């Protein structure tokens, strides 16, 4: 570490401190730890922040923040973080109270020839008064430097663990329950899997309980089932199943996070769907948006307060890892030009600014340009497509009359999110949380769903031929057969209407496979008198509502699926064009597992519109 003073025009000279480290981990491995400045500040003993509630919005994501150190109030204006992932990030603070006038931090992660990283961390601090002149170098050398060194080394060790994504542990976990009660809850959760003799569920349940007990507060405050599954290299559905059952056992609480489409931060977190509103506003991004189940509502978990008290305190408000989909963020002064060397993955991105309207779509591919220039005017960015390569020199030009914060972000949403659209279409969730529904009158889009309607053929004749009691038993058994097939293919029964069933699926082909399995089972002599099941399937956008105190769906997709069921003979499934065009479905047809026969017909209730439909029968799958 070195320290020296550089002359400035301010009353006191600026201190400069620099630390250099060599680590075996790559910049990509280190970035999630080093750039998580919220956790880093906590780990280096920075006091928690106090953020004024309802403070007036400042331009370009600036925030007024304060803390108390040794009883001394410290207040500052935090400038927006700037970064290029995974190579560098920095931030500047302008103080209004306390011993400092300004402070700037910069971290640079440079790849080394041996596949490791050279980490350079620099601090610039300008004293405000004599206290700062004396305290700053003493604090940095005697306390900050050793903490930085220890924390960076700890992160480097964690980053080189390759078996799973490591999570920092908590040393002072607070429990309200005694150990016997915790052990009883653990035994209760394990018991539900011992009956199934599911070794994978038992293993996951043990790992989940250990995770809840040992991971730090940041990790357990927002548990994402699919992320845990990927980190543990376990099946996603199994981990979600364990989390749902742990919630029923009183170990976890579920929460519904309403995410901003830009920063993707949780604008609301509610314990029940009925408390969510479809209309939301993000103050940081200055946008109003409408919630949709397929993208902006995510199911997460946290420990039940009786199991573990989780206190998530703010130590940094602008950490790059708060918005991991943002690969670069740069603040340019008016008329400033800046060149960035960007290492990008293939895919779709969006370039926007925080204060002005408009956004430029960006595609990254091997055939893209190796250099590009983007000029921002006062009217904002246009929607012209920018095609660049994976290693691109991007020149940003701010020709507006004010500073602007440029943001380059991936448009693809992480598939590690357990969306409300997905989880509410699972039978297990509907069984365990049947009371989860929207507030009366609320309507929220769930995006694209596949809707299945079935009905028993000639059920009236069945009652006459074998008697009411026997026929009723057969009908009830047929519901069990359908439920089993639908559940095995990750679908959910929404409701039954007489002998008919309405079910939903996220994957179109899963609906076809589920109903084909049910048709084959019901036609088998092992189930008693053979039953014939008519079925129709359509894929399209749906709206979620509450009907009869249960989560239900409506819209033209639902109406058309119901009409298609009436066209089935019982030895087939009627599917629409949207399902027929599904790639998975096409693959089964090409492989000869599904046989199709096209026809077109007018459908009642759709203004005599003619629909192209397919009659589907199954082979060996």
**Chain-centre distance of CA 373, in angstroms?**
32
Token readout for 248 is 């029923």
Please give the pLDDT value at position 446: 94
| pLDDT tens-place string over residues 304-360 | 988 888 888 899 988 999 999 999 999 999 999 999 999 999 999 999 999 999 999
Average pLDDT over residues 441-459: 90
Token readout for 187 is 């035994």
| pLDDT tens-place string over residues 233-274 | 999 999 999 999 999 988 999 999 999 999 998 888 999 999
Q: Give, as one character, the DSSP assignment of residue 356.
A: S
Token readout for 184 is 């009883």
Please give the pLDDT value at position 449: 96
Q: Which domains does the chain have, with CATH numbers?
A: 2-159 (3.30.530.20), 179-313 (no CATH), 324-410 (no CATH), 433-618 (3.30.70.1230)
Nearest to 285 by CA among 383, 380, 353: 353
**Chain-centre distance of CA 463, in angstroms?**
49
d(CA 247, CA 254): 7
| pLDDT tens-place string over residues 132-164 | 999 999 999 999 999 999 999 999 998 887 545
Please give the pLDDT value at position 8: 45
Please give the pLDDT value at position 9: 44
d(CA 455, CA 609): 24
| pLDDT tens-place string over residues 476-508 | 888 999 999 999 999 999 999 888 999 999 999
Per the CB < 8 A criterion, the answer to whether 123 and 105 are in contact is yes
Beta bridge partners of 387: 363
Token readout for 52 is 């004024």
| pLDDT tens-place string over residues 387-411 | 999 999 999 999 999 999 999 999 9
Please give the pLDDT value at position 4: 44
Could you tell me the pLDDT band of residue 471, with boundaries at 50, 70 and 90?
low
Whether 474 has a pLDDT exceeding 80, the answer reads no
444 or 184, greater pLDDT = 444
Please give the pLDDT value at position 621: 42
Please give the pLDDT value at position 473: 72
d(CA 42, CA 39): 5
Please give the pLDDT value at position 283: 81
Please give the pLDDT value at position 390: 95
d(CA 293, CA 299): 10
Average pLDDT over residues 210-226: 91
Per the CB < 8 A criterion, the answer to whether 358 and 383 are in contact is yes
Q: How many CA atoms lie within 13 A of 592 on its CB side?
A: 1
Please give the pLDDT value at position 136: 93
Q: How is the chain split among helix, strand and coil, in percent rounded to 5?
A: 30, 35, 30
Rg (CA), the chain: 29
The mean predicted confidence, pLDDT, of the chain is: 89
Per the CB < 8 A criterion, the answer to whether 67 and 45 are in contact is no
Please give the pLDDT value at position 607: 74
Could you tell me the pLDDT band of residue 169, with boundaries at 50, 70 and 90?
low
Per the CB < 8 A criterion, the answer to whether 123 and 23 are in contact is no
Could you tell me the pLDDT band of residue 468, with boundaries at 50, 70 and 90?
low
Average pLDDT over residues 160-176: 58
Average pLDDT over residues 153-182: 67
Average pLDDT over residues 13-30: 95
8 or 575, greater pLDDT = 575
Q: Give, as one character, the DSSP assignment of residue 377.
A: B
Could you tell me the pLDDT band of residue 40, with boundaries at 50, 70 and 90?
very high
Give me the phi and psi of 371, to 5 degrees please: -150, 150
Please give the pLDDT value at position 2: 45
Could you tell me the pLDDT band of residue 1, with boundaries at 50, 70 and 90?
very low
Please give the pLDDT value at position 406: 97
CA distances to 53, 77, 578 from 57, rounded to whole Å, are: 11, 12, 45
Please give the pLDDT value at position 260: 92
Determine the length of the chain: 621
Please give the pLDDT value at position 163: 46
Q: Range with the lowest mean pLDDT among 53-67, 352-366, 386-400, 591-605?
A: 53-67
Per the CB < 8 A criterion, the answer to whether 185 and 246 are in contact is no
What percent of the chain has a predicted confidence (pLDDT) above 90?
67
d(CA 328, CA 32): 14
Whether 13 has a pLDDT exceeding 50, the answer reads yes
Average pLDDT over residues 540-544: 95
Could you tell me the pLDDT band of residue 619, with boundaries at 50, 70 and 90?
low
Give me the phi and psi of 234, to 5 degrees please: -120, 165
Nearest to 259 by CA among 318, 311, 228, 299: 299
Task: Note the pTM of the prediction, 2 decimals.
Answer: 0.86
Please give the pLDDT value at position 323: 93
Could you tell me the pLDDT band of residue 460, with boundaries at 50, 70 and 90?
low
Through-space distance between the first and last CA atoms of the chain, rounded to whole angstroms: 66
């Amino acid at each position: 570490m070195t320290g020296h003073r550089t002359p400035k025009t301010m009353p006191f000279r600026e201190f400069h401190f620099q630390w250099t480290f060599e680590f075996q981990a790559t910049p990509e491995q280190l970035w999630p730890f080093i750039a998580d400045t919220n956790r880093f500040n906590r780990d280096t003993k920075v006091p928690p922040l106090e953020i004024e509630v309802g403070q007036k919005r400042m331009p370009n994501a600036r925030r007024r923040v304060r803390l108390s150190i040794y009883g001394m109030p410290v207040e500052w204006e935090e400038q927006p973080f700037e970064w290029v992932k995974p190579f560098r990030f920095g931030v500047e603070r302008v103080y209004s109270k306390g011993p400092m006038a300004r402070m700037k931090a910069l971290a640079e992660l440079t790849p080394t020839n041996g596949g490791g990283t050279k980490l350079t961390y620099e601090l610039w601090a300008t004293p405000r008064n004599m206290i700062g002149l004396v305290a700053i170098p003493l604090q940095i050398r005697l306390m900050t430097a050793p903490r930085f060194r220890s924390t960076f080394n700890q992160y480097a060790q964690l980053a080189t663990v390759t078996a799973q994504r490591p999570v920092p542990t908590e040393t002072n976990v607070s429990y309200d329950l005694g150990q016997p009660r915790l052990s009883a809850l653990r035994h209760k959760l394990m018991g539900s899997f011992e009956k199934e003799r599911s070794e994978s569920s038992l293993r996951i349940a043990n790992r989940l309980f250990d995770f809840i007990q040992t991971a730090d507060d940041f990790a357990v405050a927002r548990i994402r089932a699919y992320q845990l599954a990927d980190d543990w290299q376990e099946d996603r559905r199994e981990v979600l199943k364990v989390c749902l059952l742990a919630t029923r056992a009183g170990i976890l609480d579920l929460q519904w996070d309403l995410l901003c489409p830009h920063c993707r931060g949780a604008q609301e977190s509610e314990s029940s769907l009925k408390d969510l509103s479809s209309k939301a506003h993000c103050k940081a991004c200055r946008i109003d948006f409408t919630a949709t189940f397929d993208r902006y509502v995510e199911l997460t978990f946290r420990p039940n307060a009786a199991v573990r008290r989780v206190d998530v305190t703010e130590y940094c408000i602008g950490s790059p890892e708060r918005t991991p989909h943002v690969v670069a963020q740069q603040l340019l002064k008016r008329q400033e030009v800046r060149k960035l060397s960007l290492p990008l993955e293939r895919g779709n991105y969006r370039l926007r600014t925080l204060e002005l309207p408009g956004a430029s779509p960006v595609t990254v591919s091997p055939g893209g340009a190796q250099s590009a220039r983007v000029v921002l005017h006062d009217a904002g960015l246009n929607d012209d497509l920018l095609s660049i390569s994976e290693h691109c020199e991007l020149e940003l030009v701010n020709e507006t009359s004010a500073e602007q914060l440029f943001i380059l972000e991936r448009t693809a949403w992480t598939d590690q999110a357990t969306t409300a659209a997905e989880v509410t279409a699972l039978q297990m969730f509907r069984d365990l949380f049947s009371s989860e529904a929207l507030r009366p009158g609320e309507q929220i889009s769930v995006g694209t769903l596949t809707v299945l309607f079935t009905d028993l053929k000639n059920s009236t004749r069945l009652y006459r031929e074998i008697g009411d009691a026997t026929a009723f038993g057969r009908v009830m058994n047929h519901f069990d057969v359908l439920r089993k097939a639908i559940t095995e293919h990750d679908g959910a029964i929404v409701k039954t209407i007489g002998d008919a069933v309405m079910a939903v699926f996220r994957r179109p082909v899963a609906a076809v496979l589920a109903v084909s399995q049910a048709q084959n089972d019901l036609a088998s002599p092992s189930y008693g008198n053979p039953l014939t099941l008519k079925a129709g399937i359509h894929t399209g956008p749906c709206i979620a509502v509450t009907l009869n105190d249960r989560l239900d769906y409506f819209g033209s997709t639902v109406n058309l699926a119901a009409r298609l069921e009436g066209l089935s003979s019982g030895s087939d499934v009627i599917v629409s064009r949207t399902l027929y065009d599904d790639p998975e479905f096409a693959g089964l047809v090409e492989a000869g597992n599904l046989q199709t026969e096209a026809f077109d017909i007018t459908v009642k209730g759709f203004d005599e519109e003619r629909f192209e439909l397919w009659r589907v029968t199954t082979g060996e799958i």
